[in-house]
Structure 1
């Protein structure tokens, strides 16, 4: 199929359209039968570490790479057909557009493989793609030939032909900049006008009566629902651009039937969606910049604290633009946000209020972060610690492996418990010298068959006052002893590692985790994600 293809010295393949769960190990298992592989890399988001849906595979021999391209293209991995092409190190060929053609008005049943099979007769194909969204094919695609002549042959033969009973358009690819210039020229001479918000009382005749005053109309249509009622918008197509422009200038923002109408140039759906996306992205970026360094995240709030009390507690440190306690219905969720007018005020509030007891709980106060930023910080801490350990010359176990916990019970005299009928609960103890959890269990011996109700003795709940009273070196110990069994119940095999990672966090936040299972689960999930990402990186072949 690609026997006439060029000999790429690096023998590197691009593999696209991958499922998000596909890993380097899966790709190695799939492609290794074609020949020895030098390296495999699934490209991932730098912050979230989620797959971007494509990978690069470097073979030792170009012939093996070509064999994989010929025999495995469009094979299915985890329910998705993969798309393979030669990796183009030089972006000049892609950006030049030479040999690249555009196909539109395709039937939805045509996929990448069908498009490839249709156009491969005209020459060697470097890449082929049907553009899709979550619903399937969007009806257009691209085929990039190795030569300009092959692209011309495809256009001459296929343009206007029927594919699955639909006449397709096939033409030379135009860059976004070229299309925008061309479209902008057309947009400046529009004749089709879009009108909305005129209510349900207007029909085609009434709309024509209003808008024909600006010039000769070719068509007027009010859009209707399945019951035949007006949907409140429609289109007027004028004979010339000047009349359409005059209608927009005169009628936009005017009242029709007691309602203010919008009148503007009619746009295609893709253009509207692109414009709305740009506006949304700009609003999002503006919001991020507006709250950068001034928005505080406050958690471990007492249930009695409402918006007014939260504002009152932070008011001494500056001008507050908003203060909000997050709720589930009428019940506080234990956290909220306070936004100051300047970064200096917010910094002062963090310094003064973090750890301060308000009502009955110590507050955790920090600059608000997006989820992606929090995950990136946790990832960086883990990777830095790991790198530091690897540079040490003395043999040492991974810090999170050596953070071990073991279970003991108090010593008994003569094999007897301290008091009849008492069952001692095994205590979790933190020890940096123990790698694996050890459990020592003793069976209490009762001297006489005196029936007494059993008494459960376990570690008492850790409070803020207890933690503050403990020596600084012992605070993490106390927190670790209580966190470990809770994490062990969720992930027994990784409890030591995860506990060690979480102990890097501020004490007030750790205290909040002990009281809030939801908060603990969230942090444990973040730690698991970091460990999995690191494991994938460690297992992936190096270039």
Structure 2
């Protein structure tokens, strides 16, 4: 007991000496001890990206040892050491520097630092997420409409990022990203916008954390020669884009990679990219105003693994750093990326999600017309490690001699997280289509709809409340070329339950 008291007194003297030397206050509150901010600090706190997470700390290490180590990387704004009731630390801390460059340096030089013989700490960038994903937004709403509606219920909104529909620029894609002034403001907004309790425009919306943007070192960003350009028309060709940008810089560009309504444009020099951005920002191309930003370089293999495990727009199921790196090494050992480039061209400066699919009408689609339904299905199978979809096509001739295409698609094995026992879904058959491409897209749409219905059926079966079953009073319309027994997917329907209807219904 006397030894513990002496140790406590010695630590107190060390912390008092540290406060006197540095001029920083030290305050313990709510299970954490804060060192800083400096008393002479003027203005707002450092911007996002200045905080690092420190893990694997020995329990007997405190600020008197940590501050000298991390202050060698730059000026510390604040250090938060997590404490337990016994007086030892909980093995981790957060350190906020005054600049992002200092935080990157701390990660680069102190990750793996041997703080005790045989004890190495981990230092990674802290995910200070200030962005929410808002889904199920009416597609006719504008950015101003969303900002006005959300501001009635939450505070601290900095920006609303809204994507236009690929096929109709008057509509949005049904979702938006909302940027807040701080992580706390975003967390409070997420708590306030609980689905089922709050409605926007008289309908429920889905609100969750957006996938955090990757933080790239300023020095690395200064070397980027790739531009991310979005809001193109679907029919705008890569050749048109290349010609426009080459005319703007009066020089050749390396290549253009167009994906749906956005593109990555690779330049031969950084100066060419800067000139193109200055000249073509907010330029109208084929009736649509484009937006240009620097592409953020990402490690292709690691990014694919993280996306596979994390899903789109959410990261609540993401792996921690050690698990991600272990999985990364396993993939490299299997040489799964032997033919992949070392570094991808990157991602845009804002997160994106798959666009909605435009329904087909009687007019045949253009040759360069395509939708995201097959891509969404492929991404879902890869994300959940299901077997890929299998497509089969048949061509027919109608009475007028026109060619008609029918697609047949099935998923050989659908399992977790949708089903605990893997099951085959399909085959599903499309309506006659005017092209093989159209039948391919409609087949993917059909299987996505089937998965959605299967998901709803799983939730209903898991619900303790039993819902009454009523016989259908409207005959179902046949939508497939040939009938198919769906009982393998949903189970055979129960026998019709006789229901006594009110008198008013019996007289109709």
The structure whose residues are more often helix, as a share, is 1
TM-score (norm 2): 0.23
TM-score (norm 1): 0.21
Question: Which one has a bigger Cα radius of gyration?
Answer: 1
Which structure ranks higher in relative contact order (CA pairs < 8 Å, sequence separation ≥ 6)? 1
